[in-house]
Amino acid sequence: SAVISQKPSRDICQRGTSLTIQCQVDSQVTMMFWYRQQPGQSLTLIATANQGSEATYESGFVIDKFPISRPNLTFSTLTVSNMSPEDSSIYLCSVSSGRYYEQYFGPGTRLTVT
């Protein structure tokens, strides 16, 4: 299994500002995923990040709002830009376990935008 850490674990931010969330994996992985869980909602995939290429965004998510970096096989960042209260969510990164659709998740970053 993979051990995934995220920083920060939580933050409270002012609207209009940006926050960068870091995701570190203890092993090299090809694909990393970023999810969002809004209050009372399900986990929703934001984008898939491959090392060495542009992230692939799901419908409803755009690079200008959620830029992603993937500088190497163990690390990725997600930036939430120009935040509004609607961005208040838990953001999680995950990696594939290599078995079908099973994924390992990080502990999440709880973001509150005021």
Partner 1 sequence: DQQVKQNSPSLSVQEGRISILNCDYTNSMFDYFLWYKKYPAEGPTFLISISSIKDKNEDGRFTVFLNKSAKHLSLHIVPSQPGDSAVYFCAASAQHGANNLFFGTGTRLTVIP
* Residues at the interface with partner 1 (CB under 8 A): 4, 9, 31, 33, 40-45, 48, 58, 92, 94, 96-97, 100-108
Which C-beta is closer to partner 1: that of 80 or that of 106?
Answer: 106
Q: Which CB sits closer to partner 1, 85 or 101?
A: 101
Category of 97 on φ-ψ map: left (φ > 0), alpha (ψ -120 to 50) or beta:
alpha
Name which of 14 and 40 has its Cβ closer to partner 1.
Answer: 40
Least distance CB 15 / partner 1 (angstroms): 25
Bridge partners of residue 2, in order along the sequence: none
- What does the H/E/C string look like for 34-73? EEEECCCCCEEEEEEEECCCCCEECCCCCCCCCCEEEEEC
